[in-house]
């Protein structure tokens, strides 16, 4: 069977899509392809200059694109509330929500203004709160909601006694926890939508290893020597063998967001080389992601942390 490509994306005319963190990387490529297929796009991101630049680049590539920037900092709950309120004020249903924004393996523990550890806050808590607050519009649009996970979830454990890793912060386990949480959230959201009649379809995607800004902005942010090694050795020699482009990494996300044959509760990813690269298709979720009791416990703990409840 031929591989799934952007040619498989059905016409999206009349649909309204929000893609978080779509100023670069997989988010930008997702927004671009959805715009190409006629969807109206909201670039939801924290940096207005990068946001307006993404809008310009999409308009250059797709002159008919309906695309605009809306400020959203997922690490700031007030920003999440303000963004959701602006969307709710329009009263317009949302057809696609892609919870894509993320940071990876920040070398030292950072804390948001709300008191949450930065990786958990950006990757998971912000998206949980955003989805809860947008629920009326997602229900109205019978939306497809896509959560971004990662093969890093394999090593993830949910530290229920200390979700914020107040003690013993280690960059990678904390990232892995946030991506496991996104996978558990996406699967649980689909179960709860079916049980409560919310009418949305929740699918989880991972890009494999896509060449984006994620590494430079995370683990290498304060490591000039490793940055140089990356630029001289890893980037040109090793990375091409084990990774693919940001556009290829966006394909599982696009498949999850648009392919009607992908059912709610599915997990879609890159399918070759231990899911590091290759065409999109079914991905393997580790047992800890499929533990429904743990997913329910995480859901309740997250609602309590955020003071946000589904449905609002």
201 three-class SS:
strand
Q: Which stretch binds ligand NAP (CB under 6 A): 97-105, 189-197, 232-240, 284-292?
A: 97-105
Q: Is 294 exposed, middle or buried (0-12, 13-18, 19+ CB in 10 A)?
A: middle
Catalytic-role residue among 28, 124, 169, 175: 175
Looking at the chain, list the stretches that DSSP marks H as alpha helix, in order from N- to C-terminal side. 25-36, 48-61, 77-90, 118-119, 126-140, 171-196, 214-217, 224-229, 239-242, 246-258, 292-306
Q: Name the residue with the smallest CB distance to ligand NAP.
A: 25
Please identify which residue in 214, 255, 262, 306 interacts with ligand NAP, judged by CB under 6 A: 214
Please identify which residue in 73, 188, 190, 259 interacts with ligand NAP, judged by CB under 6 A: 73
Please identify which residue in 18, 34, 67, 72 interacts with ligand NAP, judged by CB under 6 A: 72
Q: For this structure, is 175 an active site residue?
A: yes
Cα torsion through 274, 278, 281, 282, rounded to 10: 10
**# binding residues, ligand NAP (CB under 6 A):** 33
Q: Is residue 210 close enough to count as binding ligand NAP by CB under 6 A?
A: yes
Inter-axis angle of helices 292-306 and 126-140, to 10 degrees? 100
Q: Is residue 101 close enough to count as binding ligand NAP by CB under 6 A?
A: yes
Site for ligand NAP in 149-168 (CB under 6 A): 150
Asked if 203 and 285 touch (Cβ cutoff 8 Å), the reply is no
Ramachandran angles phi, psi of 204, nearest 5°: -110, 145
Which H helix or E strand runs over 16?
strand 16-20
> Nearer Cβ to ligand NAP, position 12 or 150?
150
The tokens for 175 are: 């990232």
> Nearer Cβ to ligand NAP, position 198 or 251?
251
Q: Is residue 50 close enough to count as binding ligand NAP by CB under 6 A?
A: yes
Please identify which residue in 39, 41, 74, 130 interacts with ligand NAP, judged by CB under 6 A: 74
> Nearer Cβ to ligand NAP, position 69 or 299?
69
Residues known to be catalytic: 175
- The residues of the shown chain that bind ligand NAP, judged by CB under 6 A, are 20-21, 23-27, 45-47, 50, 72-75, 100-104, 122-123, 148, 150, 206-207, 209-210, 212-214, 217, 249
């Amino acid at each position: 069977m031929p591989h799934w490509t952007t040619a498989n994306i059905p016409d999206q005319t009349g649909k309204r899509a929000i893609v978080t963190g779509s100023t670069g990387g997989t988010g930008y490529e997702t927004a671009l392809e959805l715009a190409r297929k006629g969807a109206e796009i909201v670039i939801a991101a924290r940096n207005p200059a990068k946001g307006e630049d993404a809008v310009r680049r999409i308009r250059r590539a797709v002159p008919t694109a309906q695309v605009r920037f809306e400020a959203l900092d997922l690490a700031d709950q007030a920003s999440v509330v303000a963004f959701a309120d602006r969307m709710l004020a329009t009263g317009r249903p949302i057809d696609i929500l892609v919870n894509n924004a993320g940071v990876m393996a920040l070398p030292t523990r950072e804390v948001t203004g709300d008191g949450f550890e930065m990786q958990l806050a950006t990757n998971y808590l912000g998206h949980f709160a955003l989805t809860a607050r947008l629920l009326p519009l997602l229900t109205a649009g019978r939306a497809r909601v896509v959560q971004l996970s990662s093969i890093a979830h394999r090593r993830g454990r949910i530290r229920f006694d200390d979700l914020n890793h107040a003690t013993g912060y280690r960059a990678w386990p904390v990232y892995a926890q946030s991506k496991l949480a996104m996978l558990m959230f996406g699967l649980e959201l689909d179960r709860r939508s079916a049980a409560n009649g919310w009418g949305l379809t929740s699918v989880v995607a991972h890009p494999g290893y896509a060449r984006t800004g994620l590494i430079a902005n995370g683990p290498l942010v304060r490591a000039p020597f490793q940055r140089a090694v990356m630029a001289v050795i890893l980037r040109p020699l090793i990375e091409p063998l084990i990774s693919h482009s940001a556009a290829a990494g966006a394909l599982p996300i696009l498949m999850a967001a648009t392919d009607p044959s992908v059912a709610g509760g599915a997990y879609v990813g890159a399918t070759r080389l231990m899911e590091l690269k290759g065409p999109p298709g079914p991905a393997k979720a580790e047992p800890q992601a499929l533990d429904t009791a743990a997913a329910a416990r995480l859901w309740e703990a997250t609602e309590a942390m955020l003071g946000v409840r589904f449905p609002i």
